[in-house]
Amino acid sequence: MMFRLGLTGSIGMGKTTTAQMFVEEGCALWDADAAVHRLYAEGGAAVVPVKAVFPETVQEGAISRDALRKIIGADPSALPRIEAIVHPLVAADRAEFIETSDAEIIVFDIPLLFETGGEAEMDAVACVSIPPEIQEQRVLARGTMTHADFEKIRAKQMPNAEKCARSDFVIVTDTVEHARAQVQGVVKQIKERMRDA
């Protein structure tokens, strides 16, 4: 028996760090962003079909995310066309991962899990969360985006309170120790649930 745990959370909430904690507890991890990187890399499954529609996005045999962003910024209708190509490839990558994994618990790290309806394929969902002011501090401390960039991303994501309300587990990532204790608790509960099933 295999348990599928969706892991989600908005930008800067500590999802990547939390995902690694699940790995340390013996869970397998499928990362949606990493899957997209594989698909966009040289030789990746998305390169040829994306190039057929948007040839200018392919540079040195790989899809340039910067070029994609520029196209989507200039033409909003481009995004659904790109998603129509990429989403099925991501789903195939995920299916292959499930097929080849022998882990009891697979954690699916999917930032837009609720936004894309992905929770329907999960046995449970865990959401990482921190207060909005800490979220903003963390994101701006990376030095990779401005306050305006951050607000733009946050506006596109489902509100944190709604994600938490729709999740089976909420992991507060205020400190590493606190987050780790909660991850261990989630894994313990899932294993108990699987034993009782």
Q: Where are the domains of the chain?
A: 1-27+105-197, 33-102
pLDDT per position as a tens digit, 81-129: 999 999 999 999 999 999 999 999 999 999 989 988 999 999 999 999 9
Q: How many CB atoms neighbour CB 111 within 10 A? A: 19
The pTM of the full predicted model, rounded to 2 decimals, is 0.89
pLDDT at 19 over 90: yes
Token reading at 165 = 């309300």
Type of residue at 85: I
**Residue-level pLDDT at 153:** 85
> From CA 182, how far away is CA 128, in angstroms rounded?
10
Strand segments, DSSP code E, in 42-193 are: 58-59, 62-63, 105-109, 124-129, 169-172
Quick check: helix, strand or coil at residue 4? strand
Architecture in CATH of 1-27+105-197: 3-Layer(aba) Sandwich (3.40)
